[in-house]
């Protein structure tokens, strides 16, 4: 038996010579749910089944969410041949049965591992077992792998992620590969040919404006995540099947409704993966409304796949533009302050040029209708200034559509 298994590993390893990432797995930013932000290591198959049930029944699946991603701490031990198995107490039915259940709902199952010898939660990592782990994931019916970067001393990030990409390809089951190395090694430069999305920052925290200092590492609030990297550089590397990932969402995990709305809106403007991180089994109507806003989601999922640009920042208000299909634009006014701001935005003073999308507009020559994507109502057009009050830590998110002559 041992010879057969080792021979199989050798065969799939040899296939790495012609390996590539699985194509067209993420033509728009992936949408789904992940266990870590709310549950951390407290994961088991009962909870995952309940989350799948709610995703299918709550309207989230209809809104576009499809991945149920189990994060760290699902692991049991490796057997005598080195193959990983799930914790038998937490997942007594096994991963194959759980994947079958999730698939029966029309959803997909994701899993977590780490490029190091241990995961961030201290479970067995994939270092030295990449091909074995990929074979197990494929045999279970896994659809998505989040691959972390703890305990990786001596490894080079690009090479480590390339090894797992090759292992997944050799295993033969198409999977989304999420590169989670926190942006330390600029994965937006090299990640396109390896994974389908890559983290650009360290871990998010469920606050709008804060830094949580863990001595050796930090967690970041929503505003800090937005500011940590140069968006003008990042957006050059985003697009269909290769997305910048500012981390999973904290909507529903303790911020105010306004902050949740602003958080969700900005992830949509960034063309970010929309991976919910709350307990969707017990979310409030307000949280559900935010997570399932079809008009905001349409901005994120726009087929052009262009990450938004910060056009202006003044008096604590950022103005973002995102080009969309059909000549449309999304525009988002983000109030970074806690106090309300009275605004009068004169469209005819603005000249938007997006060198990444090769798009521009001049409001002196083109008139656009204005659609409020949260109030779900029309606000006139760009022929006159837009006067409004922007509450603290909130947004006004618009869709601009050119008026046909």
Q: Which residues have a catalytic role annotated?
A: 148, 203
Q: CA dist 184 to 72, 152, 222, Å? A: 21, 13, 19
Expressed in angstroms, the distance from the first to the final Cα of the chain is 73
Pairing type for strands 176-179 and 197-199 reads: parallel
**CA-based angle 65:68:69, to the nearest 5?**
125
Q: Both tokens of residue 2?
A: 């041992």
- Which residue carries 């087929």 as its tokens? 303
Question: Would you state the torsion angle of the CA atoms of residues 350, 356, 359, 362, taken in this order, to the nearest 10 degrees?
Answer: 10
Q: Both tokens of residue 101?
A: 């259940």
Q: Both tokens of residue 46?
A: 């009962």
Q: CA dist 15 to 167, 168, 191, Å? A: 9, 10, 20
Q: How far apart are CA 324 and CA 332, in angstroms?
A: 13
Q: 3-state DSSP call for residue 262?
A: helix
Q: How far apart are CA 263 and CA 249, in angstroms?
A: 8
Q: How far apart are CA 249 and CA 33, in angstroms?
A: 9
């Amino acid at each position: 038996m041992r010879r057969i298994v080792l021979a199989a590993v050798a065969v799939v390893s040899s296939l790495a010579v012609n390996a590539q990432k699985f194509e067209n797995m993420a033509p728009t930013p992936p949408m789904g749910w992940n266990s870590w932000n709310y549950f951390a290591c407290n994961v088991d198959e009962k909870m995952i089944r309940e989350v799948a049930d709610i995703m299918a029944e709550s309207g989230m699946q209809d809104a576009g969410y499809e991945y149920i991603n189990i994060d760290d701490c699902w692991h049991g031990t490796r057997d005598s041949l080195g193959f990983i198995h799930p914790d038998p107490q937490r997942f007594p039915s096994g991963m194959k049965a759980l994947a079958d259940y999730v698939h029966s709902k029309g959803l997909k199952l994701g899993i977590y591992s780490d490029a190091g010898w241990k995961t961030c939660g201290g479970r067995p990592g994939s270092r030295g077992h990449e091909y074995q782990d990929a074979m197990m994931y494929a045999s279970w019916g896994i659809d998505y792998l989040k691959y972390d970067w703890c305990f990786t001393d001596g490894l080079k990030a690009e090479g480590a992620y390339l090894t797992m990409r090759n292992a997944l390809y050799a295993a033969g089951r198409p999977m989304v590969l999420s590169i989670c190395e926190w942006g330390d090694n600029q994965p937006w430069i090299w990640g396109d040919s390896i994974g389908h999305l890559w983290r650009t920052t360290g871990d998010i925290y469920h606050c709008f404006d804060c830094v949580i200092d863990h001595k050796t590492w930090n967690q970041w609030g929503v505003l800090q995540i937005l500011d940590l990297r140069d968006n003008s550089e990042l957006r050059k590397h985003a697009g269909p099947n290769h997305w910048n990932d500012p981390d999973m969402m904290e909507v529903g995990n303790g911020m105010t409704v306004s902050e949740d709305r602003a958080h969700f809106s900005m992830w949509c403007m960034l063309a970010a993966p929309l991976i919910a991180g709350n307990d969707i089994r017990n979310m409030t109507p307000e949280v559900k409304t935010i997570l399932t806003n079809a008009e905001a989601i349409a901005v994120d999922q726009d087929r052009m796949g262009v990450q938004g640009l910060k056009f202006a920042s003044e008096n604590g208000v950022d103005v973002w533009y995102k080009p969309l299909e059909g000549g449309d634009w999304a525009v988002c006014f983000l109030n970074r302050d806690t106090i309300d701001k009275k605004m009068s935005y004169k469209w005819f003073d603005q000249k938007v040029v997006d060198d990444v999308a090769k798009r521009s507009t001049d409001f002196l020559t083109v008139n656009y209708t204005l659609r409020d994507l949260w109030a779900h109502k029309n606000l006139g057009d760009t022929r006159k200034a837009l006067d409004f009050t922007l509450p603290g830590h909130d947004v006004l998110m618009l869709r601009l559509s050119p008026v046909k002559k």
